[in-house]
A and B are shown apart, each in its own frame.
Chain A
Amino acid sequence: DIQMTQSPSSLSASVGDRVTITCRASQSISTNLNWYQQKPGKAPDLLIFAASSLQSGVPSRFSGSGSGTDFTLTISSLQHEDFASYHCLQTYSTPYTFGQGTKLEVK
């Protein structure tokens, strides 16, 4: 199985900050990497698919990059509604596997 290592596990930031979250795969997954945002009690929302493609309706302050084993989710200027948990998911091969998640909190 492909292991996904996500970091950091938690992050404190302020409105307006630029934030970066990283996922590393245990082997190359090409660009088969999605990013999700999850708020308490809600289903995850797809932000980025195929490593860098912005899902329809997602604000442009979210961006994704990377290929192979190293991937990054960047929020260019944090807004109040961005404080949530973020998850990466590899869809290169089954079983699909998630990173451990990053909880983004208000500093």
Chain B
Amino acid sequence: EVQLVESGGALEQPGRSLRLSCKASGFTFGDYAVNWFRQAPGKGLEWIGFIRSNAFGEATEYAASVKGRFTISRDDSKSIAYLQMNSLKTEDTAVYHCSKGRTQAGPWGQGTLVTVSS
């Protein structure tokens, strides 16, 4: 069974950093891209970015709202993708989800809550 489990969410102050993890199982992780999405409380869904597989140079793309602040990386030996979030803003408060595949974008993990507040 394909599973993705996010972790690392926390309460953090504006301007600080946080790293989220996405642990995958049930498929050959290294063969697939990983997307990150988020959903602010009571709001809609937002795409954050993706990282492609090693076969595609682990290329990354990001939404304008996070570009230059967030970095996606991966460790295929551990089947984990990471979302490094720097210079956090209050508007980054959301549940963060990862998903399998670049365009199929599913399934998703259950998400991890990031709260940015002073």
Contacts and interface: CB of A to CB of B under 8 A. Distances in A.
Interface of A: 32, 34, 36, 42-46, 49-50, 55, 87, 89, 91, 94-98, 100-101
B18 interface: no
Given A43-B108, A45-B108, A95-B63, A87 B103 contact: no
B103 A46 contact: no
Interface of B: 35, 44-47, 50, 61, 63-64, 97, 99, 102-111
Given A45-B108, A46-B106, A49-B106, A87 B97 contact: no
Contacts of A34: 103-106
A43 B110 contact: yes
10 contacts: A32-B103, A44-B108, A45-B106, A46-B99, A49-B103, A49-B104, A55-B106, A87-B45, A94-B61, A98-B47
A45 B108 CA distance: 7
Contact of B105 (A49, A95, A101): A49
B44 A43 contact: no
A94 B64 CA distance: 10
A98 B45 contact: yes
From B97, B106, B109, B110, residue with most partner A Cβ within 10 Å: B106
Contacts, number: 61
B72 to A, nearest CB: 13
Given A43-B108, A45-B107, A55-B106, A95 B64 contact: yes
From B46, B64, B102, B105, residue with most partner A Cβ within 10 Å: B105
A52 B106 CA distance: 15
A34 B111 CA distance: 19
Nearest to B95: A43
A42 B109 CA distance: 10
A94 to B, nearest CB: 5
Given A87-B45, A98-B44, A101-B44, A46 B111 contact: no
Contacts of A36: 45, 106
Contacts of A91: 102-105
